[in-house]
C-alpha cells in the first residue's frame, strides 16, 4: 500500500463522516441515489424560482445570482457562466470579487478566463489562499504545472488552516500525506478537524485531477463529499462542497466507462 492510500485509510478512521461501513472507496458513490435526486430536485426548484424572479424583474442581481448557482449545482456550467456574466453587466462592481464566476469558467473549460478572474479577486482579497489555489488550478489546465507554479499568487498575511498547507502542496513543497498527517496530529476539536479534512481532501483531489491522476482524485473527492461539515456549512464552504460533489461524479463516471476499442 502506498503512503497516499495509507493516509486515505487513516482518514477513514479520523473523519466523523466515515464512521459507517462503505463499499470500496474507489468507485463507491459517496451519496445515495436518493440523496442525489433530492439535491437535483431542490436545485431545479431554485432554478425555476430564480427564472421567475428574472422574468418579473430583468435587472435583478439576486435572480441571476441564484439562477447561476442553481445552474452550476446542476452541472450546467456554461449557462452558469452566462448568468454570472449578466451580474457583472448589471453591476460592474461585482467583477473583481466574483469568485463563483471563476469556478464556473474553470468547469466550462475556459481556463485562461478563470485564471484572470482569480487574479482579479486577489486585488479584492490578499489573504484568501483558496483563491490562489484556484488560480493555480486554472493556469495548470490552461498551460502547465511549471507555468502555474511560476504564477502562484504571493501572500504576506496568515490564512486559516489547512490553506497554508494546501498552498504548499501546490507550490511543490508539501505532500498530501504530510497535510493529512498534520491534520490528524493537530490538537483541535472534532468539528475543526472535520473542516480541515474537507478542504484538504477537496484540494488534494483537485490537484490530482489537474495532474491527470483520476483514480486518486476521485478517492479524495469522494472523501470530501462524504464529509459531514461541508454540506451544512455556510454559503462559501457549501458551494465548495458542491464543487467536490460534481467533480467526483464526473470522475467516477469517467472511470466506470469502458475504454474505447482500438
pLDDT the model gives residue 159: 77
pLDDT tens digit sequence for 165-204: 999 999 999 999 999 999 999 999 999 999 999 999 999 9
* Residue range 64-77, pLDDT digits in tens: 999 999 999 999 99
Judge if 87 and 170 occupy the same domain.
no
Average pLDDT over the chain reads 88
Do 246 and 169 fall into the same domain? yes
pLDDT tens profile 14-31: 333 333 334 444 468 999
Is 153 exposed, middle or buried (CB count within 10 Å of its CB: 0-12, 13-18, 19+)? middle
- Claim to verify: residue 215 and residue 247 sit in the same structural domain: yes
Q: Decide if 197 is inside a domain.
A: yes
Answer for the pair 119, 153: CB distance below 8 angstroms, yes or no. Answer: yes
Mean per-residue pLDDT, 213-236: 97
Number of domains in the chain: 3
Please tell me whether residues 123 and 65 are part of one structural domain. Answer: no
Last residue within a domain, chosen from 113, 137, 158: 158
Which DSSP string corresponds to 80-124?
HHHHHHHHHHH-GGGTTT-HHHHHHHHHTT-HHHHHHHHHHHHHH
Sign of torsion over alpha carbons 85, 89, 92, 94: negative
Question: Which sign does the torsion angle of CA 55, 56, 61, 62 carry?
Answer: negative
| Alpha carbon 154 to its chain's center | 21
In sequence order, the 6+-apart residues with CB closer than 8 A to the CB of 177 are 3, 4, 6, 7
Q: Exposed, middle or buried: residue 192 (CB in 10 Å: 0-12, 13-18, 19+)?
A: middle
The radius of gyration of the chain from alpha carbons, rounded to an integer in Å, stands at 18
- Residue finishing a domain among 40, 63, 95: 95
Whole-number Å distance between alpha carbons of 213 and 201 = 14
Cell numbers linked to 36:
442525489
* Whether residue 151 sits in one domain with residue 166: no
Residue 2 lies in a domain: no
Q: Are 170 and 162 in contact (CB under 8 A)?
A: no
Q: Which domain, by its residues, includes 43?
A: 30-95
Domain boundary among 113, 142, 158: 158
Amino acid at each position: 500500500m502506498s503512503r497516499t492510500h495509507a493516509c486515505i485509510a487513516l482518514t477513514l478512521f479520523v473523519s466523523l463522516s466515515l464512521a459507517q461501513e462503505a463499499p470500496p472507496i474507489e468507485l463507491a458513490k459517496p451519496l445515495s441515489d436518493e440523496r442525489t435526486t433530492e439535491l437535483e430536485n431542490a436545485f431545479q426548484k431554485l432554478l425555476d424560482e430564480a427564472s421567475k424572479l428574472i422574468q418579473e424583474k430583468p435587472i435583478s442581481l439576486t435572480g441571476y445570482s441564484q439562477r447561476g448557482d442553481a445552474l452550476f449545482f446542476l452541472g450546467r456550467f456554461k449557462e452558469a457562466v452566462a448568468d454570472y456574466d449578466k451580474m457583472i453587466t448589471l453591476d460592474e462592481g461585482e467583477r473583481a470579487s466574483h469568485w463563483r464566476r471563476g469556478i464556473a469558467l474553470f468547469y466550462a473549460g475556459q481556463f485562461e478566463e478563470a485564471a484572470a478572474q482569480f487574479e482579479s479577486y486577489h486585488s479584492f482579497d490578499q489573504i484568501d489562499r483558496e483563491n490562489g489555489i484556484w488560480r493555480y488550478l486554472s493556469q495548470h489546465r490552461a498551460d502547465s504545472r511549471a507555468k502555474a507554479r511560476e504564477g502562484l499568487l504571493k501572500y504576506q498575511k496568515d490564512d486559516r488552516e489547512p490553506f497554508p498547507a494546501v498552498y504548499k502542496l501546490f507550490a511543490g513543497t508539501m505532500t498530501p500525506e504530510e497535510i493529512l498527517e498534520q491534520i490528524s496530529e493537530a490538537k483541535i476539536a472534532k468539528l475543526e478537524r472535520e473542516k480541515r479534512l474537507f478542504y484538504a481532501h477537496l484540494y488534494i483531489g483537485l490537484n490530482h485531477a489537474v495532474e491527470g491522476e483520476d483514480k486518486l482524485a476521485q478517492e479524495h473527492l469522494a472523501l470530501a463529499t462524504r464529509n459531514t461539515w461541508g454540506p451544512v456549512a455556510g454559503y462559501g464552504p457549501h458551494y465548495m462542497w458542491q464543487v467536490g460533489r460534481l467533480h467526483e461524479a464526473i470522475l467516477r463516471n469517467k472511470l466506470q466507462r469502458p475504454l474505447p476499442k482500438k
